[in-house]
Structure 1
């Protein structure tokens, strides 16, 4: 009877026709209810409408049994996975317990029947009825994965959200509108959506804090009120909280450890909270407040002092910035060493274009015949002076040394604060002892080049000589240059025949002693004050062949005594009564003044205390053409130095005693004349040319 009812039910099923997937049906093995054939592999696809599951009710199961059903079997396949495998004699309609209904939560499945090579006992196979069953998608374990609420209906389900939330486009997850939150009060509180309840998944929340300029936003989290999902590694790949302000990013933050207090440094802060699709965390809450924006002053106003001095400066604070000693404001008017600066609303100082820069003294002034060495010209730099050669010496003004320093006033000063520059003055009387001085002018011996580097030859209009006493002044006899404005002179030579290869010295002025009587030199009997100075247009370059001689009385050891041997040199007449083209020199002793005075009285010449007497009756003497040349002695304190004590003036015949102008008596006039001339020269108009 039961078998007939089953067949009747199957017959009724077959009479139903629908274009949509069937809601029920029946499937049986080949040749059912007779024994199934050998070597069979056959499958049936079952499909019901979406939103439904499938129940299988096996009303007959008679399949050759085997371990793991490896001989013959019927299988239920869901996709490529095996959902159920059956074999054996379970129920044939007459004996055995029928199998319970099997529910498969899928709207498609496949039934596969397999037999091997033998069915000796004539097993009859299987018969199964399938039925479409409405699924409750909102009931576990199916789970519709709705964020908040799930609603089931026949053939499907739908999700809905709590008030204040919206359903995302996936129709499953709920979110909140949290991207237009603006906070402008100076203080406030901000929390994640739903706090302290669980925050929504798949949400991107943005909170904007905007305060007035000049104030920064401070953020403070409560340690117990922070709970944001983190991944197993402890990173913030799932959910994260990020703070952004003034180009800086704080975070991301997650987990249960609250972020530290944040000083944003800006009046504009963005708080970004992003969540994924999972988790059940309560979120976070924070309090924000305002503080005046600080201005960093460290390393900003370098080399300067701030008044008032504070550990911290904030918005609207004003300071006076004063440059340290040795520094100045290059872009400000002269002598202005300070300016006002104010802390601005963006954390910067006003007037940042003003900088304290080192005072620049500019290149130090050079000096004649000298060098100045320096590497920098700013405050504290040093400039060291030296002379070009050993024939010059550095003369230091006051208590200064050879080094000047760039001062805070922008001036090069010495250690005592003076601005006077050192001077390179000629080293006088440089004497090389290897040059032996012996011989005679009258019956004289030729001099070697450089033996008397101070000798100057006067050739026109009168033959005579002179001596360099500096790099620009020549000392000679007044009667040699009397009435002469542009004498022809040469220095640094010993043979006048080679003068065409030399440049003559150019006189700027010829100065005779004011008390010298300018009568006829040929008949002159009074040579008192027979001394003159010649100033050159240009300084001569000193060296081994051109150098000045020292002047008697200008230093200790330069006072000759009677009997001391001196030397004279010149290009005057020799014993042959002809002028020598070569520089000749000889040795003469300083004699008692009475010797010359007696002879002068006899010949009606004037001999005064302004004259020296030198020579003897041995024939060593100066002669005509040697006038103006120096009477030279070695310094008793320094045997490498010579000085001139006299000027060849007149004589009582050649080869006997000679009379010389006593230079010591004219030191004051020499110094005053040279200083006045140089002072006058410094006031001359620009562009003046000499000669």
Structure 2
């Protein structure tokens, strides 16, 4: 027993001497014994214990079991000793094993990770059939050789020391911030002429090189670069592994690699940077870059998308050129096409302006509620096209619908038929179209019209009851005698209905009432209906629909006004049931009569009037004045032959419906110029 204690003390002294360099702050012993309770005299039933130690950084903790004598049981379920490394179970032991068995089968696996911990537990159950001595083990703290076992490898040299390791580099290298990689940081500034080679030359250039050379010459001079001798910069599969790049303030040359030397470079700069980057391996030989000086030259281009005049091979200090933007480009988006620029001593042109693509811009649309661009965000630069569309089916495009941006920054028609400054198209109401239900109604004594059948028919009730025809979305036309004396007043017109009492009718207030200047009123009684025509401008755009739409104006004709066709006249005037007025819109078919006069009258009949009437008493009556007479006859209109306004109900005999007498109508085609001019100027 005394020999065993002496041996243990001696071992501890030797270990302490071997590890005296470990940090003093490590609080546990660096070596020692651990054994079961009562060892070697034997452990009692229900014995248990726990032991744990941790290694300092850069060290591991090892455990060597030199004696094991426990109760043998299935899967060590009775008495057992368990060893853990960082809470991970390494071994569960029971029974008896010799020293040789322990040394070969168990002890090699009983160690912690670097800086990790070992723990041990022992538990005995309630009884043993014979007495067992237990176990005894010896633990030590050992240094780790990171140079062999660490994943953090040094790129050049590794030096191990107790508790850690360090990296070092070959001459010409230094450690990067990661303290493992050896790099070359070859930053250098040079002036004048010379030859530049990479670090390590002659011979293979250094790995992990991050070289940045700044080359500078006097103002008024520029650097000329050429590669001399061998050029060998690592590449793989056509891609640069290592690279050489040359940069000026305005240009970049490279990256260069491989074995074919780049062509000479006229840098057009007095200051350049040469950047050389390499990876961690390779035995390539590098390059030799000769840099020399020559007088500064200005480049053969001042700005993109332009041409110079005069054209010269070389431009030097003091040369002045005229810079002209190519077709479709202008100076800074303006209409200016040229500017002058002078070559400076620095090798730069001054002044320099950009030649930018001409942009015609989005044209201003005056009626955005009616017309819009076909595309929401179209391209508007040189040679780009735009087109327009109407937003409502009740309008059609008038004028050219497609335009091209020309070189002057103006929109022009694709056909180039008009001058570059072209008026934009307009959306004008579709005229002369209706719903087509048809019946043989009559005005005086006739039947009711259907809704949408005569959508241009308007009605005014005060102060004089009369009709009118819508001829655009802002204008109506009527007889002058219906609105005479009301020119300074606001009247109300109704449309989009067939019932004169319809509360849902479209209401239109007048903004202007313009009576033909040739219409004369002779007091006390009207004796002349010549020029019985007036235009009415509404205060707001009329909301067009299938129930309210304009009628087309007529075309001039050389023959009969109604072109020997039947026409249709309509209105809310007197009927056979009520000679004063009708609640519902009536219509009837009439034809033109060439006999003059249509009835015995003292009133003057002029060429601005024509006579029309129908068979069996079809006629207009009081309250129909100002209403429309259209051709073709109602029910025969189409896209090809829209309904046109040929006449305005003007005057007739005192008694309505006499088949022997006809009525007079204002001949609308005589007033087309006045109508269009009045609408355009008002």
Taking structure 1 as the reference length, the TM-score comes to 0.55
Partner SS, residue 459 of structure 2: strand
Aligned to 1:610: 608
Residue of structure 1 equivalent to 2:617: 619
Q: Against the structure 1 CA distance between its residues 392 and 270, is the aligned structure 2 distance closer, same or farther, given a 3 Å change threshold? A: closer
Relative to 1, partners in 2 of residues 1:588 and 1:182: Cα closer, same or farther, differing over 3 Å? closer
1:297-336 aligned at under 5 Å gives the runs: 301-310=303-312, 318-330=320-332, 335-336=335-336
Which of residues 513, 517, 520 is equivalent to 1:514?
Answer: 517
Pair 1:487 & 2:487 matched: no
**Distance change >3 Å, CA 218–CA 606, structure 1 → 2:** closer
Which aligned pairs between 1:161-560 and structure 2 lie closer than 5 A?
Answer: 184=192, 211-218=217-224, 263=265, 265=267, 267=270, 289-293=292-296, 301-310=303-312, 318-330=320-332, 335-342=335-342, 349-351=349-351, 354-368=353-367, 369-374=370-375, 375-396=378-399, 401-414=400-413, 415=416, 416-417=418-419, 418-432=421-435, 434-485=436-487, 486-498=490-502, 500-519=503-522, 523-554=525-556, 559-560=561-562
User: 8 Å contact 1:558–1:643 — kept in the other structure?
Assistant: no
Equivalent pair of 1:384/1:402 in contact (CA under 8 Å)? yes
- Residue 249 to residue 617, structure 1, CA distance change in 2 (3 Å): closer
> 2:571·2:585 contact (CA, 8 Å) conserved in 1?
yes
| 8 Å Cα contact 2:323/2:338 also seen in 1 | yes
Shift of 1:447: 0.9
The structural deviation recorded for 1:324 is 2.0
1:479 to 1:189, Cα distance in 2 relative to 1, 3 A: closer
Report SS of the residue matched to 1:475.
strand
- Is 1:666 matched with 2:670? yes
Q: Which has the larger radius of gyration?
A: 1
Q: Is 1:567 paired with 2:565?
A: no
Closer/same/farther in 2, CA of residues 445 and 348 from structure 1, 3 Å limit: same
Corresponding residue of 1:36 = none
CA displacement at 1:520 relative to structure 2: 5.6
Deviation at residue 243 of structure 1 after TM alignment:
11
1:630 corresponding residue in structure 2: 628
CA deviations on 1:548-582 (whole Å, 9 max, x unpaired) are 222333479994145x3221111111112352111
Contact 2:522/2:528 (CA < 8 Å) preserved in 1?
no
Tell me the equivalent position of 2:68: none
Distance across 2 between alignment mates of 1:478 and 1:649:
9
Deviation at 1:482, TM superposition (A): 1.6
SS of the aligned residue for 2:507 comes to coil
Whether the aligned pair in 2 keeps the contact of 1:431 and 1:641 (CA below 8 Å) is no
Give the corresponding residue for 1:643. Answer: 644
Q: For 1:535 and 1:207, locate their aligned partners in 2 and report how far apart those are by CA, in whole Å.
A: 82
Q: 1:472 to 1:555 in 2, by over 3 A?
A: farther
Query: Aligned-pair distance for 1:297?
Result: 5.6
CA positional deviation for 1:268: 6.1
Q: Name the CA distance, whole Å, in 2 between partners of 1:590 and 1:267.
A: 96
Does structure 2 retain, via aligned residues, the 8 Å contact 1:552–1:558? no
Deviation readout 1:310-333 (Å, 9 max, x if unpaired): 5665676654322223322228xx
Q: Structure 2: how far apart are the matches of 1:422 and 1:535?
A: 22
Deviations 1:607-666 (A, max 9, x none): 333322222561221111111111222189966411222211222211123322242452
User: Bigger CA drift: 420-429 or 472-481?
Assistant: 420-429
Distance in 2 between residues matched to 1:330 and 1:227, nearest whole Å = 45
Take 1:592 and 1:207, find their aligned partners in 2: how far apart are those partners? 106
**Whole-angstrom distance in 2 between the partners of 1:382 and 1:364:** 12
C-alpha change, 1:482 and 1:567, in structure 2 (3 Å) is same
CA distance in 1, matches of 2:213, 2:552: 95
1:666 match: secondary structure = helix
Residue in structure 2 matched with residue 148 of structure 1 by the alignment: none
CA offsets 1:498-556 (integer angstroms, 9 cap, x no match): 2x3345212222222333331469x5343233222222233323331222222333479
1:531–1:661 CA contact under 8 A, matched in 2: no
RMSD: 4.8
Q: 1:437 to 1:530 in 2, by over 3 A?
A: farther
- Relative to the length of structure 2, the TM-score reads 0.55
SS of the counterpart of 1:547? coil
CA distance in structure 2 between the aligned counterparts of 1:482 and 1:249, rounded to whole angstroms? 86
What are the Cα deviations for residues 269-313 of structure 1, in whole angstroms up to 9, with x where unaligned? 8999xxxxxxxxxxx999864334555567x72222223335665
Match of 1:591 in 2: 593
The DSSP-based 3-state class of the residue aligned with 2:461 is: strand
